[in-house]
Chain A
Amino acid sequence: MTKHLRNMHKLTAASAAKGISGVIPEPLAHRREPPSLVVESVRAGYGRNLFLGPITFAVDPGEVVVVLGPNGAGKTTLLKTLAGLVKDSVGDIRVRDQEVGARSAPARARLGLVLVPEGRGVLPGLSVAENLRLGAGVRRAGREARARRIERALDAFPALRSRLKQDCYTLSGGELQMLAIARAIASEPYVLLLDEPSHGLAPKIVTDVYAGLHRLWDEGLAMVIVEQRSVPLWCAPSECMVLRSGRLVYRVKGRMVEPERLTDLYFGTVQQEA
């Protein structure tokens, strides 16, 4: 029931933000869905030294977990580990109750665990449409289903529509970020991992990007968002964690960490995990 209420709240916030009247969702209380992502005692690093972790958390459908931390805290390594790009890692990673820890990165993408990487993973030489086509083809589907997926991804980021034929190399930073996210959701994932989606973008563009993300969140996509600074999330994350030197120094449920605490958490004396 609490989940239902929380979703109601989010929907209202989103609708208010977009200036459209909200639609009352079906009650979710009786739908027992497995958590989209469960991360248990994950440790990772490069070579023998597993400097990151242990980290444990879970994300339910339609929820978002935010991971903050300064440069070199291990945020990117955490997401890469979840996506299967870090060889030296231990711990359990489950997507909808399916263990994926032993699987390769492409296999995890096909199971619905998709990373939008740092630097957006631009593929120069490929057009926007070709990028989306690759995204839509990650998980098996017929031709029509793939076309629908691309349409839905474009609905979330309509600014891309006029750019379909362009080489993605010619896009602006904001458009590239939107393309990277659109390409990721075109595969209809269960979990979206986002590595600093606001990086290098003007505040106005950051708002646009997060508006698109919010819409996806509303549709029931689970997300893990890594950021270096506090961002306008539009609504409360289910959990907020702060990483520093590979360790959790702070975590809080149901809200963002207070921005004024970040300086201390990033640069002050390291506290015990909350």
Chain B
Amino acid sequence: MVPLLIFGFGIGCVYALVGAGFSLVFKTTGIVNFAQGSFVTLGALGAYAVLAEGVPYAIAVLAGVGLAVAGGLILWYVVLTPLIMRDAPGYAPNIATLVYLAVVTDLMLLWQGANPNLLPVWAPQTQFHVLGANVSIMYLYVVLAAAVLLGGLGIVLRATRLGIGMRACAVDRETSQLLGLSPRLLGGMAMGLMAGIGGVGGVLIGSLQYAAYDSGVTFGLYGFVAAVAGGFGSLPGAVIAGVLLGILQELLARYVSSDFSDAFALILLLCILVVRPGGLMGARIRFMSR
């Protein structure tokens, strides 16, 4: 039971990172970035591919995260910005991100093939004992890294002018422009930042779970579920829902069957939406949009 909770917590942290990406990008740009999960694949497979060339681990990690950031910036500046500049209808950018996810997935298939890969562990893989069970210390590192990233993100949003600007952009784009803020630049920063965080998530989880060319679809789905269940646009909501989802899935896989993971996530989402239409942190959302 205890190791299950710890596994779930670790995986859930990656969902939380992706969910936070959905939330922040939506808040700053108003776009639901369905390609958010692909940054996890880019991070994991990018690091794997570079590592296979025999470079040091740290550089491979940087390369993976860099690839994810590049993926995010290309999505924003090459795909989305031209759409927004030409006053495309509101649904167009959202659909473009879905197409982008498909394109990235196919490119990864071409580049890395269909075989799933596992990153070697990047720290001494000691085990520790919790209530009579052996747990790899890697999971703790994942949780720790996610906590640092998300905490840092929270501080940036609360206390820096960049973060305040992003929040301003999220609630009122026109007023933000009057305050000298460029929605295009802030959107690019949010996209690049969250792609990078997704990439870190990929590197973290890449040594615990096999990552394949299409993992981004799965992580995107779970991250999306976390973001919506938490209350779309709410960062803490996405994080809490992501961790919960990871734990529940692990329990479900152990005690029922792992075949139902996707269906379970979506049914859970529906249940949450029926009970609390605004998501777990819904009250706040209603307040924000008033």
Contact = CB atoms under 8 A, between A and B. Distances in A.
Interface string B162-175: 00110110111011
Contacts of B171: 123-126
Interface size, A (range): 20 to 34
Interface in A88-142: 104-107, 109-110, 114-115, 117, 121-126, 130, 133-135, 137-139
A226 interface: no
Contacts of B175: 117, 121-123
Interface string B156-191: 000001001101101110111111111000000000
A123 B172 contact: yes
B182 A125 contact: no
B290 interface: yes
Interface in B239-268: none
Interface string A221-245: 0000000000000000000000000
Interface size, B (range): 20 to 34
Contacts of A169: 287, 290
Contacts of A106: 177, 179-182
* Most chain A beta-carbon contacts within 10 A, residue among B170, B178, B180, B290: B178
A8 B119 CA distance: 77
Contacts of B178: 83, 85, 105, 109, 114-115, 117, 121, 184
B130 interface: no
Contacts of A107: 180
Given A117-B175, A123-B175, A104 B182 contact: yes
B275 interface: no
A187 interface: yes
Contacts of B176: 123
Contacts of B165: 134, 137
B288 interface: yes
Nearest to A140: B180
Contact of B177 (A105, A123, A184): A105
A149 interface: no
Nearest to A146: B161
B177 A126 contact: no
A139 B290 CA distance: 30
A183 interface: yes
Contacts of A83: 178
A123 B180 contact: no
Given A123-B172, A124-B171, A134 B177 contact: no
B177 to A, nearest CB: 4
B179 A134 contact: yes
A188 B135 CA distance: 59
A135 B168 CA distance: 11
A60 to B, nearest CB: 23
Contacts of A123: 167-168, 171-172, 175-176
Contacts of B181: 106, 134
B84 to A, nearest CB: 13
B164 A126 contact: yes
B161 A126 contact: no
Nearest to B290: A124
B288 A125 contact: yes
A109 B167 contact: no
A164 B165 CA distance: 17
A137 B161 contact: yes
A133 B179 contact: no
Interface of B: 161, 164-165, 167-168, 170-172, 174-182, 287-288, 290
6 contacts: A121-B174, A122-B175, A126-B171, A134-B181, A137-B165, A137-B180
Give the top 9 A-B pairs by smallest Cβ distance, nearest first: A121-B175, A138-B180, A105-B177, A109-B180, A110-B180, A106-B180, A106-B182, A130-B164, A134-B179
